[in-house]
Amino acid sequence: MPVAAAQAKQRIALLSLAAAVVMALFKLLVGLHTGSLGILAEAAHSALDLLATILTWISLRISARPADANHPFGHGKFESFSAFLEAGLLVVTALAIGGAAIHSWTYGGGEVVLDVWAFAVMLVSMAVDGWRANTLRRAAVKFQSDALAADALNFSSDLATSTAVLLGLGAVLAAQHWHIGWMRHADAAAACVVALAMVGLALRLGWRTAGVLLDEASPELARDLQEALAGVDGVTQVERLRLRRMGSRYFVDLQLGLEPASTLERAGMVRQEVAERIQRRLPEADVVIETQPRRMAPGGPYEQVQSVAHRRNLRIHDLSIYEVPSPPGETASSELDIEFHLELDESLPLADAHESVCQLENEMRRELPTIRQIITHIEPAQAHVSQSNLIDPHRIARQVGAIARRVPEMLDCHDIQVRSSNGHLALSCHCSFPDTLPVGRVHELVTRLESDIKRGLPQLIRVTIHPEPFSDNRR
């Protein structure tokens, strides 16, 4: 937890503590002066508030400690534990007040001496409790603090009990002035109201904090997080989402399904995006994400072949798959012929390279039983940057331009460059096509141009063509 937030929570708790000390003493003195059981019950309630506020302040200091070997998730749950203890103290005090009130009602008690102080202490108490409840409630929401929320709930209930005691004092005053016998128990009735309110408060507080202590998760929050992750590109499903709250901080444990063809780098990017989305909803959340390969829908032969290569951490390109019809008279379904280029370490001995190819092909056949044959072209993976020199392209550019003009639907050919590297010549260029031309058709035309250039300029060993829409103005 940030140091500034922890200090702010402790300052609020100290202010509440000072108010609790003053109000407990004020009520005790007035209660002894008047002999009012209702005011004495409120004094006992305020004394309990004082004890609870001290407990809150201590719990906030402990919960602000960083995680250690004995508490790997931090000390945040001490706030919930202190709130649970406060609920127990409320029950004990309520039983004592209720017992005293019932005894006074049954056997009679001393005469209540009413003066201005009796009413003043209750009015001041209501004003202070209202201020404390609002201040603590805002702080509890801001800092997600169970301890401050417990105090806010406590002081909110004090308003209701103070009102009951004030009405009881008014009833006793009326009974003394007009000699109404049945109203002489109003003070004891007010004390009973205080006791019942404390029990109700204890039940609410105990129920809420017990859920946190028992790692109860919020279904609404889980649904919110599920919805926030629904649009992450590459995530096929959220297989597990577990929440644990420690004080104001959440720990989120996720298991995500990703497309099998996802690379480790792509999986890392997905994890980062998921963590950022969760932390926008829960700013202090500690997020742990595990990813598993999960196909969103059954893939075709291309996806299955590429998935096998990814699983073996191998790179393939120029993948082609051909459907071979069954011979006449056979009822078997058609078979597949597969061709691709496989990149391997250039220093790898041929025998080891061939063994890797055999293992790869065998796994592909297990994945796709309809494979008839696999042709694998082995080539060295590019592990270093080649030295090259640019050659004056004017003559070659004119030849390439003439060849390109014979290709239909190609609008222009520009940025032609010729390089010499290790005694070999390589050409690259940019070609423009209509914006609406489909990618498949563009690829056909680029392949045709590449073949035509190699036939016209046999000294070139590599031709790289970049297609772009004619509206692109970056050239």
234 has pLDDT over 60: yes
362 has pLDDT over 90: yes
State whether 136 and 30 are in the same domain. Answer: yes
State whether 393 and 415 are in the same domain. Answer: yes
Domain with residue 14: its CATH number is 1.20.1510.10
In a domain, 195, yes or no: yes
Q: Look up residue 437 and give its DSSP letter.
A: S
Amino acid at 2: P
State whether 207 and 223 are in the same domain. Answer: no
Question: How does DSSP assign 174-212, residue by residue?
Answer: HHHHHT-GGGGGHHHHHHHHHHHHHHHHHHHHHHHHHHH
Q: What's the pLDDT band for 192 if we cut at 50, 70, 90?
A: confident
In a domain, 400, yes or no: yes
Q: What's the pLDDT band for 146 if we cut at 50, 70, 90?
A: low
Q: What's the pLDDT band for 296 if we cut at 50, 70, 90?
A: low
329 has pLDDT over 70: no
Out of 293, 323, 353, a domain closes at: 293
100 has pLDDT over 70: no
In a domain, 474, yes or no: no
Mean pLDDT of 88-100: 74
Contacts for 61 with CB less than 8 Å, ≥ 6 apart: 10
Out of 325, 354, 380, a domain closes at: 380
Give dist(CA 246, CA 66) in Å, integer.
12
Number of domains in the chain: 4
Which of 36-50, 107-121, 196-210 shows the lowest mean pLDDT across its residues? 107-121
Q: How far is CA 407 from the centre of its chain?
A: 53
Question: How does DSSP assign 6-27, residue by residue?
Answer: HHHHHHHHHHHHHHHHHHHHHH
Between 192 and 281, the more confident residue is: 281
388 has pLDDT over 90: no
pLDDT confidence of residue 361: 92
Q: Mutual orientation of helices 219-229 and 264-281 as an angle, nearest 10°?
A: 140
Task: Choose among 135, 133, 196, 120: nearest CA to 164.
Answer: 196
In a domain, 475, yes or no: no
State whether 197 and 261 are in the same domain. Answer: no
Out of 345, 380, 415, a domain closes at: 380
Domain with residue 339: its CATH number is 3.30.70.1350
Q: What's the pLDDT band for 359 if we cut at 50, 70, 90?
A: very high
State whether 236 and 190 are in the same domain. Answer: no
238 has pLDDT over 90: no
Which residue is listed with tokens 């590019």? 382
Give dist(CA 408, CA 78) in Å, integer.
76
Average pLDDT along the chain: 76
Contacts for 171 with CB less than 8 Å, ≥ 6 apart: 183, 186, 187
Give, for 431, the enclosing helix (H) or strand (E): strand 424-433
State whether 306 and 165 are in the same domain. Answer: no
Mean pLDDT of 263-281: 85
Residue 27 belongs to what domain range? 3-213
Amino acid at 127: A
Mean pLDDT of 67-96: 70
Query: In this predicted model, what pLDDT tens digit does every residue of 429-467 receive, in sequence order?
Result: 889 999 899 988 998 999 999 999 988 888 888 888 898
State whether 163 and 146 are in the same domain. Answer: yes
Mean pLDDT: which of 8-17, 299-308, 426-435 is highest? 426-435
In a domain, 371, yes or no: yes
Burial class (CB in 10 A: 0-12, 13-18, 19+), 65: middle
Mean pLDDT of 30-37: 75
pLDDT confidence of residue 9: 61
In a domain, 160, yes or no: yes
Between 52 and 372, the more confident residue is: 372
In a domain, 166, yes or no: yes
State whether 205 and 223 are in the same domain. Answer: no
Sign of CA dihedral 289, 292, 296, 301: positive
Encoded tokens for 184: 């002489």
State whether 237 and 204 are in the same domain. Answer: no
Contacts for 312 with CB less than 8 Å, ≥ 6 apart: 359, 360, 363
State whether 11 and 145 are in the same domain. Answer: yes
pLDDT confidence of residue 448: 92
pTM, full prediction: 0.45
In a domain, 174, yes or no: yes
State whether 323 and 195 are in the same domain. Answer: no
State whether 289 and 421 are in the same domain. Answer: no
The bridge status of strand 249-258 relative to strand 286-293 is parallel
The bridge status of strand 315-324 relative to strand 335-344 is antiparallel
